Amino acid sequence: MSTFKAPKGTYDLIPPYSAKYLAVRDAISAPLRKAGYGYIETPGFEDVNLFARGVGESTDIVTKEMFTLTTKGGTNLALRPEGTASVLRAALEASLHKKGNLPVKLWYSGSYYRYERPQAGRYRHFSQVGAEAIGAEDPALDAELIILADQAYRTLGLRDFRILLNSLGDKECRPVYREALQAFLRGLDLDEETVRRAEINPLRVLDDKRAEVQKQLVGAPMLRDYLCDACKAYHEEVRALITAAGVAFEDDEKLVRGLDYYTRTTFEFVHGGLGSQSAVGGGGRYDGLSEMIGGPALPSVGWALGVDRTVLALEAEGVELDIPAATSVFAVALGEAKPVLFGLVTELRKAGVAADISYGGKGLKGAMKDANRSGARFAVIAGDRDLAEGVVQLKDMESGEQSAVALAEVVEVLRAKLA
């Protein structure tokens, strides 16, 4: 072991376990790629103010959880705690909204950083696959994203998840509700920090998990009763479209997300097998974010699914992903056969066959152990006598059958057998 360990709240992904993460990222992004979303990659850090303004000055993410640093040149940066603000910043910087049809549909996959108290399912470094549809106000877009996430989870084999749906209103109706809620909260017996939160972001108080707070919230004004007609109609359309697609959801009027940019549609995917960190993904509409970071009005919607928690959810359900072995053919070279088999492996790889060879001058027993461990379907074994006869031994690792094949034909034979 080295003197060093992965930093607190982080962990390494090691093969073969790491293959699960690749498979999950692939399964989440596949439906997006087929629905017109283009891949975007942004830097791992941004101007700290992008998140302060975008995610919200009063959110836990900005006040407590950002990894910040000052460069030698004096610029204040933050490791990205989430992807939406960065993706919108990049889209605006590249004027994507002026170049083609709206919405601009983008997907991404990467690492995110939050200085949180680590526990199962909550890390300081985690990974998300996300999607953002920028520049259109259309309930079908909100519905599309929810349906695509549902599809991704179902393709992976996940069953025990629920979709919680809410509308947070817009700039017309939310301020009216906010005032009504604040007036209600001022009449309660709350601790100092919660009183402060009630003044800055009263909706977050509804999300307080403590029983003594929840008890007092009975009878609080609900946003549903304050939604303006436009928001109500929009929400009903989203609900109708998801229902028509056969995707089950639950209305959750208490769903408040931990980021301030949301308007109207908000949703969360929660899983029953994860304990307190039950959200495997979440998202919603953020019609005002572009203006908050200095851009034009660009109503948008998106989500991010947590890869770490999705893997945990799959494990909680006992779902085994169908991950093909990394190697199809494993070469075992004996005597002076190494250069020839090394050449054969190179040729196989060029022909698109996943191939590997035993290294380090092992004997037959050790090299066959490597072949077994690799999960390869076939082993190609050759020693001096085989090469003198112009053949290699081809062993079917499943049936154990072995036969001689002409060296000149082995690439074609293997390609045909593996097709």
Q: Which residues are annotated as a binding site?
A: 82-84, 114, 128, 132, 257, 261-262
**Binding-site residue total for ligand HAM (CB under 6 A)?**
26
Residues 118-177 that bind ligand HAM (CB under 6 A): 122-123, 126, 128, 130, 132
Q: Is the dihedral of CA 123, 81, 312, 276 positive or negative?
A: positive
Nearer to ligand HAM, 126 or 161 (CB): 126
Could you tell me if 147 and 247 are in contact, meaning their C-beta atoms sit under 8 angstroms apart? yes
The three-class DSSP label of residue 19 is helix
| Selected binder of ligand HAM within 86, 163, 306, 395 (CB under 6 A) | 306
Longest Cα–Cα distance of the chain, Å, equals: 94
CB of 283 to ligand HAM, least distance (A): 4
Q: Is 202 in the site for ligand HAM (CB under 6 A)?
A: no
**Closest to 287 (Cα-Cα) out of 107, 136, 175:** 136
> Residue with the closest Cβ to ligand HAM?
306
Segment near ligand HAM (CB under 6 A), from 17-25, 78-86, 333-341, 381-389?
Answer: 78-86
Nearer to ligand HAM, 108 or 330 (CB): 108
Q: Is 303 in the site for ligand HAM (CB under 6 A)?
A: yes
Q: Is 226 in the site for ligand HAM (CB under 6 A)?
A: no
Nearer to ligand HAM, 116 or 138 (CB): 116
Beta strands in 245-386 (DSSP E): 250-251, 263-271, 279-285, 300-306, 329-333, 355-357, 378-382
3-state helix, strand, coil in the chain (%, to 5): 40, 20, 40
Segment near ligand HAM (CB under 6 A), from 102-110, 222-230, 232-240, 282-290?
Answer: 282-290
The three-class DSSP label of residue 166 is strand
Q: How many helices (H) and strands (E) does the chain have?
A: 17, 16
Q: Which long-range contacts (CB under 8 A, 24 or more apart) does 176-179 make?
A: 176/226, 177/221, 177/223, 177/226, 178/202, 178/203
Q: Mark residues 231-270: x for contact with ligand HAM by CB under 6 A, - for none.
A: ---------------------------xx-----------
Instruction: Write down the residue that tokens 């969360």 correspond to.
Output: 268
Per the annotation, where are the binding residues for L-histidine? Answer: 82-84, 114, 128, 132, 257, 261-262
Q: Is 116 in the site for ligand HAM (CB under 6 A)?
A: yes
Could you tell me if 102 and 135 are in contact, meaning their C-beta atoms sit under 8 angstroms apart? yes
| Selected binder of ligand HAM within 84, 109, 167, 290 (CB under 6 A) | 84
- φ, ψ for residue 223, nearest 5 deg: -60, -35
Q: Is 279 in the site for ligand HAM (CB under 6 A)?
A: yes
CB of 40 to ligand HAM, least distance (A): 13
Instruction: Write down the residue that tokens 């909260």 correspond to.
Output: 185
Rounded Cα gap, residues 11 and 350, in angstroms = 35
**Which residues are near ligand HAM by CB under 6 A?**
82-84, 114, 116, 122-123, 126, 128, 130, 132, 258-259, 279-284, 286, 302-304, 306, 308-309
